Amino acid sequence: MQQNQNVMKIKKNIAISDSGFVFNPSSGESFSVNPIGMEIMELLKKEMPTQDISNHILENYETDAPTIDKDLYDFITMLKQYGLIDDNEKD
């Protein structure tokens, strides 16, 4: 998976609350994210490469690599679709 080698970066101005509430001040849109999604967004904010995020989930959750690979790709696609990922800052 090509994006797995990449570092996806959440836009700097995106606010993520502890309860999973996500706010994009530039569009005024808000989102809700589940705990694992929030964890992934926090890791993306720290610029962790997606492959490392996959490994992190695999270590901490009852699941397998193909499931994470598929779900992470889908989640990042949704983040992009909602305009929460800064494409310009991509490595």
Q: Which residues bind other proteins (CB under 8 A)?
A: 22, 29-37, 40, 57, 59-63, 67, 71-72, 74-75, 77-79, 81-82, 84
Q: How far is the CB of 76 from other proteins (least distance, A)?
A: 9
Length of the chain, in residues? 91
CB 85 within 8 A of CB 76: yes
Whichever of 5 and 27 has its CB closer to other proteins, that residue is: 27
Nearest to 11 by CA among 66, 84, 88, 73: 84
Amino acid, single-letter form, for residue 58: L
**Dihedral sign from CA coordinates of 49, 51, 56, 62:** positive
Q: Which is nearer to other proteins, 7 or 56 (CB)?
A: 56
Least distance (Å) from other proteins to the CB of residue 88?
21
Q: Which CB atom, from 5 or from 30, has the smaller least distance to other proteins?
A: 30
